[in-house]
Amino acid sequence: MTEPRASASDRVAGTERISGAPASERVGGSARAKPPGRISVTEVGPRDGLQNEAANVPTSAKIAFVNALAAAGAPVVEVSAFVNPERVPRMADAEQVFAGITRQPGTRYAALVPNARGLARAVAAHVSDVAVFAAASETFSKRNINQTIAESLDTYAAVAREATASGLRVRGYLSTAFGCPFEGNVPILRVVALTRRLLDLGVFEVAVSDTIGVAHPGHVRRVLDALVPAVGAERVALHFHDTRGTALANVLAALDFRIATFDASAGGLGGCPFAPGATGNLATEDLLYMLHGLGLETGISLDAVAAASRAIEPHVGHALPSRYLRATATTASTARHAD
């Protein structure tokens, strides 16, 4: 079944309908499911957060940031990326950061790797997990890694085999799954097919990613309505950017599908250097505040994450966008002035 053609104004925003009833009325073809009781938050601030910052954050500050997030209870911290430093200079100190961190029991320390060379560096640094990053649009794939989608999957097949043989867990990212800055709308059936391809390579989960922050709850429901029956909710993570202020609403929509893993960035740091207009990630503090308010467990201390964000903030040279950070900073300032 082919999808109906979207209007030009709807292509990037993802507001096109698929045939039948709207996905907001259908969740996997049935009533909305009860949310999972415990949510796993993958902390991507040290990598996806800092890679796009103009400031060159000192290695020592990065190490302290990772240590603080792990001590807060983050089950996975994406520490850095073993990529070409000429293309992503903020990740040039990946080896030094991994060498300097204090590893906490119960926390997995992950890194992004684009190829066999990056994997070899990651293995030498004693990472816990590696992540490969495919795209759902050809133009973005070429701009990001200078490969077609098919070429990238061939590369990642070899990376996944070698990583698994080395005892590492492999995660997959699927960038531009909700829209591309160059091509606009990305067909949902393509997202499903590429998620399956990544899983076939041996990744344990795929982080389906809203790289430029165009997703909204209706679009999220339509994607998951097709994706969850095809691969299972337990194999899907979601990575949202808050460019249009819809990231938390998107998480709420995804909980209806029993998605239990979400990426977030402390303080709302980040963006993608190869995606024009991709502003900050979903802030970890904002996500935790909402999830804990819903009675969902994460095992992460909200106060400790906020403290980690406040410690890194002077090094990036601007206020971090997390709404929770801003609100609590205002409250604290008001209380001090009242005294």
Catalytically annotated residue among 188, 231, 272, 282:
272
The answer to whether position 14 is within a domain reads no
336 or 114, which is more confident: 114
161-190 residues labelled b (16+ CB within 10 A) or e (exposed): ebbbeeebbbbbbbbbbbbbbeebbbebee
> For the ranges 25-29, 247-251, 305-309, which has the lowest average pLDDT?
25-29
The pLDDT of residue 32 is 63
The answer to whether position 264 is within a domain reads yes
Residue among 163, 229, 155, 243 at smallest CA distance from 195: 229
Q: Helix, strand or coil for residue 68?
A: helix
The answer to whether position 112 is within a domain reads yes
Q: What share of the chain is helix, strand, coil (3-state, %, to 5)?
A: 45, 15, 40
The answer to whether position 3 is within a domain reads no
The answer to whether position 28 is within a domain reads no
Across all residues in the chain, what is the average pLDDT? Answer: 88
Q: Which helix (H) or strand (E) holds 331?
A: helix 323-338
Residue among 166, 51, 40 at smallest CA distance from 97: 51
Q: Report the alpha-carbon distance of residue 323 to residue 312 in Å, rounded.
A: 16
180 is catalytic: no
Whether residue 295 contacts residue 306, with contact meaning beta carbons closer than 8 Å, is answered with no
Beta bridge partners of 207: 173, 237
The pLDDT tens digits for 45-57 are 999 999 988 899 9
Give the model's confidence band at 35: pLDDT under 50 very low, under 70 low, under 90 confident, else very high. confident
Q: Helix, strand or coil for residue 297?
A: strand
The pLDDT of residue 34 is 76
The answer to whether position 210 is within a domain reads yes
Q: Helix, strand or coil for residue 268?
A: helix
For residue 219, the enclosing domain spans: 35-338
Could you give the number of structural domains in the chain? 1
The answer to whether position 182 is within a domain reads yes
The answer to whether position 8 is within a domain reads no
Give the model's confidence band at 329: pLDDT under 50 very low, under 70 low, under 90 confident, else very high. confident
Mean pLDDT of all residues in 307-317: 97
Total-model pTM: 0.87
> For the ranges 9-18, 168-177, 183-192, 235-244, which has the lowest average pLDDT?
9-18
Identify the CATH number of the domain in which residue 156 sits: 3.20.20.70
